Amino acid sequence: MRRLVPAALLLPLLLAACAGQQAAQRGGAAAGGQPGLEAATARLPEEAAGFSRGSTVWHERDRPGQGVSVDYAGPARAAVATVSLYDRAQGPVPDRPGDPRVAQEFSSAVEEVVALAGTRTSQQMAEAGRTELPVPGGTPLSCARLEGTYGRQPVRTLVCLGVAAGHFLKVQVTGPARQIRPVDPEPFIVEIAQAARRA
């Protein structure tokens, strides 16, 4: 006769198994073999094209789907950047050219930047054009150039979006429109995309 295991003994084992699975999805391989959010974030470099990594904010822990954001400072602080990885709590994001989910998220990302500027009395921002940024070894990023003012200071923002490790990868770089030593944000964005996508 088979012996039955008491439910009181099974519960801790089930909880431990669930916790282990959740940890693996956050830090290791998520469902479908996609690297977890923590693993993808850990691949972001300390330095890229003269930009230095700063603070990291984990939105995912309080707001599932909102992922993580990492700040970077450009050379001589002539520009600032934010790198975001997230999935909107919709599961792994496919990395294929022309995917409607990525196109929709790109438009939403640009609209959010413009709308946020509109809520600040000292800031204005408007879209000046869209392009694709090639990334060696992977799909290109969709980018939008924005121009505006912060107080009396003319500024430029480049917002680029693509996919990395099953997450949306959004990179936003902002700097003064007129600089003594101009900072080109594109090499930084390319390096970030390659690092985030590295297996």
pLDDT in tens, 123-146: 788 999 999 999 999 999 999 999
End-to-end CA distance of the chain: 50
Q: What confidence score (pLDDT) does residue 122 get?
A: 77
0.85 exceeded by pTM: no
Longest dimension (CA), the chain: 84
- Rounded CA-CA distance 144/111 in Å is 10
Q: What confidence score (pLDDT) does residue 19 get?
A: 35
Check pLDDT > 80 for residue 3.
no
Report how far apart, in Å, the C-alpha atoms of 119 and of each of 70, 110, 112, 115, 123 are. Answer: 23, 15, 11, 7, 8
